[in-house]
């Protein structure tokens, strides 16, 4: 009887890690503040494109909120950011002698030049990729609008993999088309949904190639344009965009710390990006990552959980159209002779149900982290794999820092990504609270391992 009692007691006793995990999940799911913070950020401040007054307001909000949540220190890290504005709503019309004129939903891609007050009208050349552009050559492209219509691959289980297989036409399409004399580009929106929401996103120019306007067209609009082109290959497209780039603005990363009790000069960086695109209110991208990260401060403090290493929460600025915040943080880390950057965890894939973590490091370190699977298993978090990491933290790998990213379920992310659907009502409160707890649990392990 004594032996049996001993065995039962030993097998059911919780480790300190299990106790900490249970506290995080119980607190987040019962008393979590992440959704309330997100509601304020999206509802009172709204879309936060770099250089805008809303982005400046978000910096002040994040600074005051981290102080209120109990951060030991809060500071601002100054940087300069681009300031691109969309202007009045864009116009896009298919003009066909066969089918008449049809208005379709379009939006300027971030960083694009405008079309001028009169807009542009030209015949359309549809292509799937840059190789097709090259085959057509300048003779068939010059003076026309190039329509990139390569869809994200629905067979990819990871929607991020599907996104990666299509996004180069958005980012580089204007440069490649301009090489052959195109006067503008239209790009199929980066989403697997079939709807009328155009999705914006960053594009770039080459100083050695003429700049031409670049727009996204909704997937329904793209399908319609494709159909009309089959009926009338001489149809024209009218595009009007009023966007422009203004002088750069001063902005900031917002940094709050929980000071380590034993190894204060060893830093665990965790965060998301404070800026957003301007079509929705930046709820999933990346308001959720911001509030998940700041909720860590509140939970560590209210639960009286100690951290051996310093936990540094960073609200990065300008991820969407420049990565200036991530680059500034890395440059300062590279020059830092006092602190050691041990690990960096970013959340920038939306506030959906957490599945696991992706790590940009050697396989041995991945295996070590994967040994914590049993701690996460009760919360259905079970994916631990080698790969990339967050856009704002990946450069820290150069200072021998473990770089990683929270991986939520990805199936719905590109329904809202960079479009008018990225609003608070499309964030599920419980999923967000699960992600906040999962972030806190991983930070606890990294800070105390």
What residues form DSSP beta bridges with 402?
343
Q: Look at the chain and count its residues.
A: 449
Distance CA 321, CA 285 (A): 13
CATH code of the domain occupying 16-80+248-448: 3.40.630.10
Long-range contacts of range 223-230, CB-CB < 8 Å, 24 or more positions apart?
223/194, 224/94, 224/102, 224/104, 225/94, 225/104, 225/124, 225/126, 225/147, 225/149, 225/186, 226/126, 226/149, 228/94, 228/96, 228/98, 228/99, 228/102, 229/124, 229/126, 229/147
- Tell me the pTM: 0.95
Query: What residues does CATH 3.50.30.30 cover in the chain?
Result: 90-244
CA dist list (Å): 304 to 32, 266, 301, 433? 16, 20, 5, 19
State phi, psi for 279 to the nearest 5 degrees.
Answer: -85, -35
Cis (ω within 30 of 0) for the bond into 286? yes
Angle between helices 429-448 and 16-31 (to 10 degrees): 150
Right CATH for 90-244 from 3.30.200.20, 3.50.30.30, 3.30.1280.10, 3.40.50.11710: 3.50.30.30
Q: What is the pLDDT along the chain (449 residues), one digit of tens a residue?
A: 334 333 333 445 789 999 999 999 999 999 999 999 999 999 999 999 999 999 999 999 999 999 999 999 999 999 999 999 999 999 999 999 988 999 999 999 999 999 999 999 999 999 999 999 999 999 999 999 999 999 999 999 999 999 999 999 999 999 999 999 999 999 999 999 999 999 999 999 999 999 999 999 999 999 999 999 999 999 999 999 999 999 999 999 999 999 999 999 999 999 999 999 999 999 999 999 999 999 999 999 999 999 999 999 999 999 999 999 999 999 999 999 999 999 999 999 999 999 999 999 999 999 999 999 999 999 999 999 999 999 999 999 999 999 999 999 999 999 999 999 999 999 999 999 999 999 999 999 999 98
Structure tokens of 262? 């034993």
């Amino acid at each position: 009887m004594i032996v049996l009692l001993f065995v039962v007691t030993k097998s059911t006793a919780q480790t300190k890690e299990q106790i900490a995990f249970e506290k995080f999940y119980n607190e987040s799911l019962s008393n979590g503040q992440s959704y309330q913070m997100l509601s304020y950020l999206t509802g009172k401040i709204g879309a936060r494109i770099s250089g805008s007054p809303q982005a400046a307001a978000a910096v002040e909000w994040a600074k005051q909120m981290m102080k209120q949540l109990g951060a030991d220190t809060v500071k601002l890290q100054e940087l300069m950011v681009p300031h691109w504005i969309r202007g009045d709503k864009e116009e896009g019309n298919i003009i066909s002698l066969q089918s008449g004129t049809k208005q379709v939903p379009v939006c300027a891609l971030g960083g694009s030049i405008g079309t001028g007050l009169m807009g542009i009208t030209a015949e359309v050349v549809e292509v799937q990729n840059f190789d097709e552009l090259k085959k057509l050559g300048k003779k068939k492209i010059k003076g026309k609008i190039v329509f990139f219509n390569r869809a994200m691959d629905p067979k990819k289980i990871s929607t991020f993999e599907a996104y990666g297989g299509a996004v180069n036409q958005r980012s580089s399409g204007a440069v490649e088309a301009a090489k052959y004399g195109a006067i503008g580009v239209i790009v199929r929106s980066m989403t697997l949904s079939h709807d009328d929401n155009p999705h914006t996103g960053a594009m770039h120019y080459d100083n050695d190639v003429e700049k031409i306007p670049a727009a996204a067209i909704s997937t329904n609009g793209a399908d319609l344009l494709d159909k009309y082109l089959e009926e009338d290959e001489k149809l024209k497209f009218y595009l009007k965009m009023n966007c422009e780039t203004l002088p750069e603005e001063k902005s900031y990363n917002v940094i709050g710390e929980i000071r380590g009790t034993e190894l204060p000069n060893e830093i665990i960086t965790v965060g998301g990006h404070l800026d957003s695109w301007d079509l929705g209110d930046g709820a999933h991208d990346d308001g959720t990552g911001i509030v998940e990260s700041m909720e860590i401060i509140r939970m560590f403090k209210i639960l009286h959980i100690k951290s051996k290493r310093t936990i540094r929460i960073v609200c990065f600025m300008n991820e969407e159209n420049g990565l200036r915040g991530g680059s500034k943080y890395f440059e300062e880390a590279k020059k830092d002779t006092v602190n050691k950057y041990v690990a960096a965890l970013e959340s920038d894939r939306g506030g959906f149900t957490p599945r696991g973590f992706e790590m940009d490091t050697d396989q041995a370190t991945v295996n070590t982290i994967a040994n914590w699977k049993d701690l996460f298993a009760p919360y259905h978090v079970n994916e631990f794999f080698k790969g990339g990491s967050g856009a704002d933290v990946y450069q820290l790998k150069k200072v021998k820092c473990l770089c990683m990213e929270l991986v939520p379920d990805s199936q719905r992310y590109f329904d809202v990504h960079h479009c008018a659907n990225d609003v608070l009502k499309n964030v599920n409160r419980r999923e967000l609270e699960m992600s906040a707890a999962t972030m806190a649990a991983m930070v606890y392990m990294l800070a105390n391992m």
